[in-house]
């Protein structure tokens, strides 16, 4: 499956979720489950957004007496 197909699937999923919300057939728990699936699809397509961990700080003594 290429990137464009994954994006189309995500868009389709969002439309379906919105329609189900408007119809009042989703519970909060089901909505959370569906949104997690959509996010997983985007993570698969785009990669997870991660922040690199900063290097540890080191105190360097020196300078003026």
31 found inside a domain: yes
Where in the sequence is the domain holding 15, given as residue range(s)?
3-46
11 found inside a domain: yes
59 found inside a domain: no
pTM of the model as a whole? 0.50
38 found inside a domain: yes
63 found inside a domain: no
Amino acid 65: pLDDT = 61
8-49 confidence digits (pLDDT tens): 777 888 888 888 888 988 888 888 888 888 778 777 766 665
- The model's confidence at residue 61, banded by pLDDT at 50, 70 and 90, is confident
Amino acid 51: pLDDT = 64
Is 80 exceeded by the pLDDT of residue 3? Answer: no
Q: Count of domains in the chain?
A: 1
27 found inside a domain: yes
Amino acid 28: pLDDT = 83
CA distances from 40 to 7, 14, 26, 46, 56 (A): 12, 13, 20, 10, 31
22 found inside a domain: yes
53 found inside a domain: no
């Amino acid at each position: 499956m290429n990137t464009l197909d994954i994006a189309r699937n995500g868009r389709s999923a969002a439309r379906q979720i919105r329609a189900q919300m408007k119809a009042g057939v989703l519970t909060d728990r089901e909505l959370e489950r569906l949104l997690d699936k959509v996010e997983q699809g985007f993570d698969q397509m785009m990669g997870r957004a991660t922040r690199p961990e900063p290097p540890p700080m080191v105190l360097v003594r020196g300078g003026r007496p």
